[in-house]
Amino acid sequence: MRRVGAACSIVSAIAFVVGLFALLQAEGPSSPDLWVYLASPSGQSDFLLAVDALTVGVVLFMAGTLVVCWTVAPERRLHAVLAGGLVVAAAPAFIGFLSIQYALVGTLREGIDPNSVTFKAMVLQAHAAADWAGWTGIAMMSVALLFIGAALFGDPRRRLATWTALACGVLGLILIRVGLGDEIVVGPTWSDVGRGTDSRGVY
């Protein structure tokens, strides 16, 4: 079971890296407005790659966490239950906003003009949903990783997993603090739509 949990965690990490890289291609500082980026088939493919990879990452992260929680010592079971509960709650939030991202591409493939006000309004909604659900999900998963680290702490056979979980949990909380501090959770505004520009959020 431990090998299954480790395999899920490793593949999940790889999927997250791939998904975030593809997302940065579409949403990075040097990228064009999202509705411009999605107007091309290559932009749509990159965006769907981000959605697919992040979905796989979230699902495998949940599976790996539950396996780890199942294998902890009985005296640490409370930490495991809390971690599992947080991850199970975070996964639907992530998949929910990724579904909205998927809907952007699906809408364009139905023939909607990417420069239309209707589509730009959809981008506004996608940004808002992704910002709220994304940072909330990251917060829950970061705390869950801290609980996992606490649950595994003291097991000499799982020191690497312990410190990896603690380090990733702390990193996630730092990213939230930096993101909120720099106001990068602010999506595009209606005035931006009117000007044909957008203030990018992070999702």
Read off the pLDDT of residues 41-98 as tens digits, 9 standing for 90 and up.
Answer: 888 998 999 999 999 999 999 998 888 888 887 778 888 889 999 999 999 988 988 9
What does the block give as tokens for 32? Answer: 């064009």
Read off the pLDDT of residues 118-174 as tens digits, 9 standing for 90 and up.
Answer: 888 888 888 788 878 888 888 999 999 999 888 888 777 888 888 888 898 998 888
Cα 172 to Cα 19, 134, 135, 161, 175, distances in angstroms: 16, 12, 10, 16, 5
SS3 assignment, position 119: helix
How far apart CA 70 and CA 148 sit, in angstroms, is 11
What does the block give as tokens for 153? Answer: 């702490």
